[in-house]
Structure 1
Amino acid sequence: MTTEDPVPEPATDRDTPETGSNAARAQAFGAVATAYDAGRPTFPAEALTWILGPGRGLQVLDLGAGTGKLAAVAAALGHDVIAVDPSQEMLEVCRRRPGLDTMMGAAESIPLAHASVDAVIVGQAFHWFDHARALPEIARVLRPNGVLGLLWNRADIVVPWVRRMVHTMQGDAIGGDRFDPVPVLLQSGLFALVEDTRFRHWQDLDRNGLRQLAQSHSRIAVLTESRRDAVLEQVDAIYDNTARPPEPLRMPYFTDCYRARPSDLANYRRTLDAPVAPHL
């Protein structure tokens, strides 16, 4: 990391899949799209500026866009953004955001032309992809000098109440190994010189917002109603014992960011398939 922030034990949103439950947990996001949009944090603009550069007007693909939280930040920075997600429910929420184009699609089969975007950004979703299929697709749609940016918001569980909250949401998964995208990117041979950094930010939550944050997690979404209600009662208790209304409860996050550019191999393979698409 290039910052001097202490490195906490990580807590990953759009939760890291567990063996045997991947499909059910991934599909659970569509059912909680509204809670996901209301409860999950946004991404700091500084993080996207680090990935995309200080300019404006790039053609950006937000892959696995969900409800469009990351896409909205890119659009606010002056870029032309296409949000792609396999969940119709997620995209219905995403379409309410101004300045975004949306398309149904998956990382393993991106519905865009060869070399058609300047950047692909992925927030909270890259660990869900089938990397053997998704990375060639990402390299295919990127322009020769394009950039791939990966972002994860991770709760700072050094703070005691945050640690209790994350444990309530994730159970024994708290403190587990963080997904590291660097070996995946480099072993593909399609990306070179992966850089990383970290940004700190906060999310202001009221009682209902903390509840929606919990409800947006796939582990909780797949519980039976009675078990889910029991978890949400624990979440309410955390808020009641911690918050000092009318001041919001401030949830601290680190945003871990990675950026990489297509390798010479990726650029060569792309030119064999199709010419570079013109800027729109």
Structure 2
Amino acid sequence: MTTDDPGPQPATGRDTPNGGAATSADQGPNAARAKSFGAVAAAYDAGRPTFPVDALTWILGPGRLQVLDLGAGTGKLAAVAAGLGHDVVAVDPSEEMLSVCRRRPGIDTMVGAAESIPLAHASVDAVVVGQAFHWFDHARALPEIARVLRPNGVLGLLWNDADRVVPWVRRFDRAIMGDDFGGDQFDPMPILLQSDLFALVETARFRHWQDLDRAGLRQLALSHSRVAVLTESRREAVLDQIDHIYGNTARPPEPLRMPYFTDCYRARPSDLANYRRTLDAPIAPHL
């Protein structure tokens, strides 16, 4: 990974409508993309991959935790956490996204943003963010994350990135990304370390696959905000490319297997974060 601008702009290599859009991106093309998130909720849920259980287990460790999925979108990551037995609350600014998330069992939902989390001080054991951290206004979001975490809590950041070594995946990405194809990947490490609010940042990578049919590959394309904001004619042109890729690659009835790497970051609140929290309010009790 290479270092990207530590501002709230989304990285060219990672595009997602999974909530938490930065409030500083209120103008220009990013605003249109941010506002497209709710409109693609169904496509996102149908087309986007889940997250590997091993990845979330690495972040959270053993035991039952109170987990906040921040920028939760349709609850892909929250569902994995709930399946592991954790108590999960999903927070996202998009009511449309959360309406899909509410269909999943074992997840509480709240409308809210990373820059103003609607939870009490020191009220959760873990904050996890899947496919959304690069949308946050980090100068405002990181203090909020540190505020709601307990002293021994953990922050986990996850990104699913398609393995572009595979030729058909590279063609799919080029059809979606257009001129942005091949851009640098977002690296959260400098942002975490420069904030002075998190320490002991660790990384890990996990491999997994997503099985797709023709409709699933189209939904995956439609779930990208770059496609969602196109005019209807240009969007159909992109989908024609996607159909062509499927027709020349898939061997029905076997599914087309999209290969992914899940890059994970795990960090603990720093001594400074813990000290600031004690000045703000008492620690909330466990439920």
Match of 2:50 in 1: 42
Does 2:168 match 1:161? Answer: yes
Q: Decide which of 193, 205, 211 is 1:186's aligned counterpart.
A: 193
Choose the corresponding residue for 2:133, options 126, 137, 140.
126
Rounded Cα–Cα distance in structure 2 between residues aligned with 1:265 and 1:214: 42
Q: In the alignment, does 2:40 pair up with 1:32?
A: yes
Give the secondary structure class of the aligned counterpart of 1:266.
helix
Say which SS state the counterpart of residue 153 (structure 2) adopts: strand
Higher mean C-alpha displacement, 165-174 vs 68-77: 165-174
Contact 2:123 / 2:284 at 8 angstroms: preserved in 1? yes
**Maintained 8 Å contact 1:114/1:142:** yes
Q: Contact 2:13 / 2:184 at 8 angstroms: preserved in 1?
A: no
Matched to 1:14, the amino acid is T
Q: Secondary structure at the match of 1:32?
A: helix
TM normalised by structure 2 equals 0.92
- Name which of 98, 112, 119 aligns with 1:112: 119
Matched, 1:237 2:244: yes
Q: How many residue pairs were aligned? A: 271
The answer as to whether partners of 2:13 and 2:186 remain within 8 angstroms in 1 is no
What is the CA–CA distance in structure 2 between the aligned matches of 1:259 and 1:242, rounded to whole Å?
36
Query: Identity, % of aligned pairs?
Result: 82
Report how far residue 216 of structure 1 moved.
Answer: 0.4
Verify: 1:212 aligned to 2:246, yes or no: no
CA RMSD of aligned residues (A): 1.6
What's the TM-score, normalizing by structure 1?
0.94
1:189-218 superposed Cα distances (whole Å, 9 cap, x missing partner): 100011001000000000000000000000
Structure 2: how far apart are the matches of 1:11 and 1:40?
15
Distance 1:214 1:118 in 2: 35
Per-residue deviation, residues 94-123 of structure 1 (Å, max 9, x unmatched): 000011000000000000000000000000
Give the secondary-structure state (helix, strand or coil) at the position aligned to 2:37.
Answer: helix
Partner Cα separation in structure 1 for residue 137 and residue 194 of structure 2:
14
The residue matched to 2:62 in structure 1 has which SS?
A: coil
Moved >6 Å (runs of 4+): 15-19
Note if contact 1:39-1:210 (Cα within 8 Å) is conserved in structure 2: yes
Aligned 8 A contact 1:12 1:155 in 2: no
Q: Distance in 1 between matches of 2:179 and 2:49?
A: 23
